[in-house]
Amino acid sequence: MAAPPTPQAIVQLVQLDRRARAAPNTLTSDDIPAALRAASIPFRVDTVPLLRGCYDNFRHQPLRAVIGCDESFLRFVEEFSSILHAERPRCFLVLYGTSVSCSAARRFTAFTAGAHMVTHVLDHLINVLGQLNRLATSSFHRWAGRAGFTCPLCGEDGFTELGLWDHMPLFHIHSDTHETHVCPLCSRTTHNIVRHIVEGHPPPEDVKRHSVTRMALHGEGEGWVPVSSHPATVSCFALVVVENPHTRQFLLVQEYGGNGYWLPGGHVEPGESLQAGAIRETKEEGGIDVELKGVLRVDVSQHCVSVEPSSHRRQRMRVTPGGQRADPDHTKVSMRLKVIFYAQPKDHTQQPKTFPDFESAGALWISEEELSGDVRLGRQSKIPLRGSEPSEWFRYVCEGGPIYPLDIVNELGEGRPASKPQKALVER
């Protein structure tokens, strides 16, 4: 198996990209760093003819195109997505550079146009290149001499179940979650095929250790879900507002499925404390290790749960908004507890996550002014949000809103009284 590119090779790539922009018609395939060619991962930069020739030369091998970006990133995106639209199943397109990776609006535009990864972090890039090599060559992910399973989104075939499980979030984290597809593993039709395969067909533990991506098997579901996966009548969620006190910027997570940006957070696992769940979700979705400093808000809501048999003879439940009348003979009451924490990074220099997996498409630091500036000026925001929480809570913190002590939310069984709320607990 070919080794992934070395850091020195990536540095050569960046230097080559600078040359390409300075003299775009002077580069040939001989300029590609030897270390990159040795890894069987062809790289081309800047010029469209080079990329087209690259694909022709490596038509029967997976193509990894890493494109260095600057202020002209829109031209890169438009040119490459137009060429690779039909060939994208065999191309993993990475846009590399801070001008795109650290801009919420540009990140989203790049993914919408066809990018699979947007990063400025060398370690993240090298890690993903190694994952792609293993995904293409490992016997745990590819059948030898058999057709295997076919991805319903891009048509690439030959996967084992583990290979398809790894491929879906890595290549299709930004795919539309509202389109319906037939699952190649169970033949069921679902509107969110990536979530269905990752959560509905997890590999056994003895196989999962060979996975090339870091996966979470639980998450916030919607619509019909198996009752067995939600045995409790109380669901606990944790959201986290993470502020870097050195830069006054906040952590923003790019949600999967093109659903925009949101706060890090999600379901608290069974047996897990609210605080532990908040810390875990922030690390998984945003890549940042945080220290919880306080509580911003506690929400409790009630929902009606209608239990009905499905065509597969398994009971399923559907959560409907509170206040709607439901059949009392087939209804349970479900309580939802959501705690919004305030946190700060343990290391203010730590880089957010920029590689795609089932948790998110990536994350970035952003100021409240950058997030909400257009709206305050009466313009439509270029930064799509999944919900209003980021803009509301970033503004709340910037305006000095009170942050309450962590023990205002007692964990079950701890038995100690909560402190009195204080006006300010964190120095800013």
Condensed to tens digits (0 to 9), the pLDDT of residues 271-281 reads: 899 999 999 99
Higher pLDDT, 4 or 343: 343
What's the CA dihedral at 153, 157, 159, 161 to 10 degrees?
50
Backbone angles phi, psi at 210, to 5 degrees: -90, 0
Q: How confident is the model at residue 82 (pLDDT cuts 50, 70, 90)?
A: low
CATH assignment, 230-406: 3.90.79.10
Q: How far apart are CA 396 and CA 369, in angstroms?
A: 12
- The domain locations on the chain are 7-137, 230-406
Return the exposure string of 366-395: e unless at least 16 CB atoms fall within 10 Å of the residue's CB, then b. bebebbbeeeeeeeeeebebeeebbbebbe
Residue 347 has pLDDT above 70, yes or no: yes
Averaged pLDDT for residues 373-389: 83
Most confident region among 19-23, 89-93, 214-218, 370-374 by mean pLDDT: 370-374
Arithmetic mean of pLDDT, 414-425: 51
Q: Is the pLDDT of residue 413 over 90?
A: no
Q: Is pLDDT at 217 greater than 70 in this prediction?
A: no
CA dist 60 → 87, 89, 336 (Å): 11, 12, 51
DSSP state of 262: E
Strand ranges inside 288-388, DSSP E: 290-309, 315-320, 331-345, 362-367
Mean pLDDT taken over the chain: 73
What is the reported pLDDT for 404?
Answer: 94
Note the pLDDT of residue 128.
82
Q: Give the model's confidence band at 87: pLDDT under 50 very low, under 70 low, under 90 confident, else very high.
A: low
Both structure tokens of 65: 């195109």
pLDDT at 391: 95
**Residue 405 class from Cβ within 10 Å (0-12 exposed, 13-18 middle, 19+ buried)?**
middle
What is residue 15's predicted lDDT score, i.e. its pLDDT?
A: 55
H helix or E strand, kind and range, residue 137: helix 122-137
User: What pLDDT does 70 receive?
Assistant: 54
Residue pLDDT, tens place only, 120-165: 887 788 778 778 777 777 777 777 656 789 999 888 888 888 889 9
Q: 32 CB contacts (<8 Å, ≥6 apart)?
A: 16, 42, 43, 44
